[in-house]
Structure 1
Amino acid sequence: MSVLGFDIGNLNCYIGVARQGGIEVITNDYSLHATPACVSFGSRDRSMGVAARQAVNTNLKNTIINFKHLIGRKFSDPIAQKFIPFVPCKVVQLANDEIGLQVNYLDNQTTFTPEQVFAALLTKLRTTVESQLSDVKKVSDCVVGVPAYFTDVQRRAVQAAIQYSGLNALRIVNETTAIALAYGIYKQDLPEEGTKAKHVVFLDIGHASTQASLVAFNKGKLTMLKTSYDLESGGLWFDALIREHFKNEFKTKYGIDASTSPRPWLRLLDECEKVKKQMSANQTPIPINIECFMEDKDVSGKMQRQEFEDLAAPIFARIRQTLVSLFEGIDVKPEDVDEIEIVGGSSRIPMIRKIVNDLFAKDPKTTMNQDEAVARGAAMQCAILSPTFRVREFSIKDSQPYRIKITWSGGAAEGGLLCSIKYATNTRNDEQTQR
């Protein structure tokens, strides 16, 4: 029986598997731990993961990437509108303001919902597990990680996608909680129950957003005290900022505007991601050279880390504010924090460490795998829930980022009770009611 944890990121996906010796993150058919969150459609078949991402430039209009934050949202949602420009295929507005992703599949124009694309990607991950693990004939039970700020509507959309893919989700867990679980369950030096808890801040800077969580640990127990997030800071927004810089430079230098053509525009975003990664490890100017970029012109430029940090100062300020807001309205202060762990691909940017050090007067730690922490925590949660594994007891008290109002009406004498539950679905305090 499979015991799996899935981390479906905006850029990459990871699969955690619980074994008797611990948690292992398995590789895909390209021997890589990271599987791109990309689905591509063609005239004969569809491809997913590495194969789809490698062919994105040749099949641009039929490729779907950066769709995670469209799941469970309406077309007119401001957050959806921020991410739609990063989706290569045509995004259309369907009935009831739903989002449709329009591609040419099997020589027919087809429109898929983000949930269907998510299900297709999960199907790929399921077949990866079945091919990589000889002792697993059929994958079923799993735990899937989602951002802590996902609303009830989004979580139900994810649950529907999991069912479409033939999987059975034992639980949909917050990514922040999965990270905390992956950290705490192996710690043997946590304070005893009833004594002062160990306070740890987890800063997760992913591809599309930043999440921070404050967690209190005792032996065999974690309590999520508070979470905060920002949907406009992360790797994608750093890449877009660098791309905008080079677009203006190329416009002045070569007389071309990359934003007017989809293929060069996406190609430039990929090249800017590479520049960002190299700047994180080098202080020397990093060159960017693209052959036959646009109008048969070769382009080149360069950027230095200091220039990038000045350019991205507003994004770094948002990340700092995400950490500051973590302590608003609670008794814990930054000086009470014992450790700060940073995870997520964009946490490798040196300025992130400086922000943490300035705020907490402590150096952040990177004892966890920065890319695989969510998948490992989700797999551990699945092992705790699964009857096939014996895991030492570990209590998790999670937090609810949105208001929940429960009201009762009627009584037994009137023929029964009616329970009305209202969820605040986003920061505008929109509500949905279930009965």
Structure 2
Amino acid sequence: MALSNGSARSRKSNPTVVGINFGNSYASIAVINKEGLADCIANEDGERQIACAVSFHGEEIYIGNQAKPQLVRNAQNTIINFRNLLGKKFSEIPKDQPIISAPVIQHPELPDVAAYKVAILQPAPTPLPPASVKSSSNTPATSVLPTPRSEPIPAERIITVQEVTSLFLKSLVQSAQDFLGREVDGAVIVVPSWFDDSAGAALKSAAEDAGVEVLQLLDEAGAGALVSITEPVEGLDPDRTSLLVDLGQSSLSLSVLSIRHGLLYAIGSAHHEDINTEQIDTKLVKFFTKEFTRKTKVPLTVCPSTETADKRAEAKLRLALEHTKRTISASPGAASCSVESLKDGVDFTGSINRMRFDMEVRTVYDSVVRAALDLLEGVGLEPLHVDEIIYVGGSASLPGLDETFFAKGFPESTITPFTAGTVIGGGIGDPTTLLARGAALQAQLLAEIANEDEQIHAAFRPESEHATVHATARTIGVILPEADAGDEGLGGQWVLGIPRDTPLPYRRFVQFDCDLGEEDKEERILGMELWEVSEGVKVEKIAPPKREKEEGEEDEDEEEEEEEEEIREKILKKEKQLGALAVKAEKARKENGRWKTRVQVQFLAHSRGIILIAAEVSEDGTGAPASIHIS
């Protein structure tokens, strides 16, 4: 999955490559440092989170975080949210969206092409007089020709969505080149999973116009998992199921990922446009608007606002909320929201603590977790099966969201950036830098194989057979029926071989000690069965202990009954026996009156079947192997 949607690249020794996370509201750039780790770099303004905004003001063009404040007094010439319009025709764009920036129009010359119309100032022409015009003293006569305009000329500019994207990407790459001190040869760009072919083609074309070679368009789930695979948190099982939660400004994207010792497989995904961080901002804007009106007695109407003064006040509040949300994410204390001259020249300073913040946006948190539970149910999993939650996006750094997941049934053993302590500061799980760093890791991989055989490059292309893989539907392993240390539900010692949702082909070696019993035998045969098993959940309800009534305590008419405690435990259930194998135990040793031996089992799985190879292991090497092939 992490290798899909690729493109061929030119050959160059030691190329300079970067990773770009191109979001709808913010973008970021990452490079590989000297230690081989991915770092998110800052642009010339010191920002690692660069606003996806372009603003035209007179003769100036503002890009990034400098453009966003223009939404207050120059909204009609400021362009935002253009990423999601890539590849779409004008007729496909919803017309009922609230307009807070430059409106999308039909291009006057290109049929069904989305564009923006902005007001600009063209530089005044300053031509020199022709050399042939002379005065009576045989010198150039400037007074003979009409005096040119000395001030800029007002004009309109029609700019397409693709041209805006190209302008923005060029700025990103220029920031990377200024940081690195050399030209960037190529980039891996992260895109959402719902990006179709037309959107991808438009993005590639825009990047080429900006002078950027796109090495690969990498989907968000692949980029997030790459960081988790290459920089795992201590204590995290290499065989795990991960839930990726991307809470963006315009939508929520969820993915359930199977990670098997570095192999990645997408079990399922979901996309919800009705759940987004715009809802969080709207709730906070309403909260601070009420506080402003209560303190100052100045009426203010927002969401929606009709008067110009109210629209500007709402835009100012939304800009100030960026600082408020970042403070809530990084500090347990209260966060402030300060706006100079919010309305009618009246300044506003308000604050909100974390508890109140979570209360205001609780419905958004609940919607995210409910969507995640629905996705897990759709792929036959429960929260108990999730070993890791990967958060993506600045709003995913809010601690209240993480707390909601645990409150809704996710086990305490689930590892998140909050439990691992890597939420902010560029740590492994920092949601704000995760995707850009994953793209940088993929870009470095592509750069390392730049001079390899063409077949290797072909594996990264969308049409490659490696872009689509098969995976196991059930867990496969070995059961030793005669072993004393057995599992009650499986009737013997269980040895995991190939977990569920493992991408194929796959090979795994497992070594384990086996108890052969107390009897002395001339020939010891170790029997093992290859089984498919299903993973389930055992639910046990425990009634609360009854509290004894103390002496002198009066009976209450209505006693509140305590709810039963529910304990959930993962279990395995036999489904289908695939085969059986017998291994001679010639190197058995006696320990504490019992015969034991060490066995190595090799699992080979591909699209045509499974090969099981088992052999006894001794200090001087491996014994005679026994094998079986199941088609």
Q: TM-score, normalised by structure 2?
A: 0.56
Amino acid at match of 1:320: V
Partner of 1:254: 298
Distance in 1 (alpha carbons) for counterparts of 2:380 and 2:24? 34
Amino acid at match of 1:377: G
- Give how far 1:279 is off: 4.1
Aligned partner of residue 359 in structure 1, secondary structure:
coil
Partner of 1:179: 224
Partner of 1:118: 165
Partner of 2:276: 234
Partner of 2:42: 27
Distance in 2 (alpha carbons) for counterparts of 1:180 and 1:284? 32
Do residues 66 (structure 1) and 81 (structure 2) align? yes
2:380 to 323, 326, 331: 331
Aligned partner of residue 320 in structure 1, secondary structure:
helix
- Give how far 1:345 is off: 0.9
Bigger CA drift: 120-129 or 44-53? 44-53
Matches within 5 A, 1:293-308: 293-299=342-348, 301-308=350-357
Q: Contact conserved, 1:239 with 1:276, CA < 8 A, in 2? A: no
Distance in 2 (alpha carbons) for counterparts of 1:306 and 1:132? 40
- Give how far 1:359 is off: 3.2
Distance 1:91 1:189, change over 3 A: same
Show CA shifts across 1:1-26 (max 9, x none).
21211011233221111345222222
Distance 1:73 1:132, change over 3 A: same
Partner of 1:147: 192
Distance 1:80 1:230, change over 3 A: farther
Q: Contact conserved, 1:7 with 1:374, CA < 8 A, in 2? A: yes
Matches within 5 A, 1:195-274: 197-247=239-289, 253-257=297-301, 259=305, 260-261=307-308, 262-274=311-323
Distance in 2 (alpha carbons) for counterparts of 1:129 and 1:283? 34
- Give how far 1:236 is off: 2.9
Distance in 2 (alpha carbons) for counterparts of 1:373 and 1:297? 40
Bigger CA drift: 304-313 or 111-120? 304-313
Aligned partner of residue 144 in structure 1, secondary structure:
strand
Distance in 1 (alpha carbons) for counterparts of 2:337 and 2:46? 28
Q: Contact conserved, 2:373 with 2:382, CA < 8 A, in 1? A: no
Partner of 2:62: 47
Amino acid at match of 2:402: R
- Give how far 1:223 is off: 1.0
Distance 1:283 1:365, change over 3 A: closer
Distance 1:283 1:221, change over 3 A: closer
Which has the higher relative contact order, 1 or 2, with Cα contacts under 8 A spaced 6 or more apart? 1
Amino acid at match of 1:172: L
* Structure 2 unaligned spans of 5+: 1-14, 123-153, 423-428, 461-465, 470-631
- Give how far 1:101 is off: 1.9
Bigger CA drift: 100-109 or 271-280? 271-280
Aligned partner of residue 317 in structure 1, secondary structure:
helix
How many pairs does the alignment contain?
A: 390
Matches within 5 A, 1:404-419: none
Do residues 169 (structure 1) and 214 (structure 2) align? yes
Partner of 1:360: 410
Partner of 1:349: 398
Q: Contact conserved, 1:7 with 1:145, CA < 8 A, in 2? A: yes
Q: Contact conserved, 1:228 with 1:325, CA < 8 A, in 2? A: no
- Give how far 1:34 is off: 2.3
Aligned partner of residue 342 in structure 2, secondary structure:
strand
Partner of 1:431: none
Report the RMSD for the aligned CA atoms in angstroms.
3.2
Distance in 2 (alpha carbons) for counterparts of 1:370 and 1:28? 19
Show CA shifts across 1:327-374 (max 9, x none).
243233321222223232112222211222123223541141221110
Distance in 1 (alpha carbons) for counterparts of 2:451 and 2:279? 42
Distance in 2 (alpha carbons) for counterparts of 1:316 and 1:75? 33
Larger radius of gyration: 2
Amino acid at match of 1:103: V
Partner of 2:102: 89
Distance 1:314 1:399, change over 3 A: farther
Q: Contact conserved, 1:232 with 1:315, CA < 8 A, in 2? A: no
Amino acid at match of 1:316: Y
Distance in 1 (alpha carbons) for counterparts of 2:202 and 2:358? 37
Partner of 1:133: 180
Distance in 2 (alpha carbons) for counterparts of 1:317 and 1:256? 29
Distance 1:289 1:169, change over 3 A: closer
Q: TM-score, normalised by structure 1?
A: 0.79
1:382 to 424, 443, 456: 443
Distance in 2 (alpha carbons) for counterparts of 1:241 and 1:390? 53
- Give how far 1:267 is off: 0.8
Distance 1:3 1:388, change over 3 A: farther
- Give how far 1:239 is off: 0.9
Distance 1:301 1:127, change over 3 A: closer
Q: Contact conserved, 1:199 with 1:216, CA < 8 A, in 2? A: yes
Distance in 2 (alpha carbons) for counterparts of 1:189 and 1:335? 17
Structure with the bigger percentage of helix: 1
Distance 1:103 1:346, change over 3 A: same
- Give how far 1:220 is off: 3.3
1:7 to 21, 25, 33: 21
1:312 to 358, 361, 367: 361
Aligned partner of residue 332 in structure 1, secondary structure:
coil
Show CA shifts across 1:236-260 (max 9, x none).
3211222234446656741233522
Amino acid at match of 2:439: A
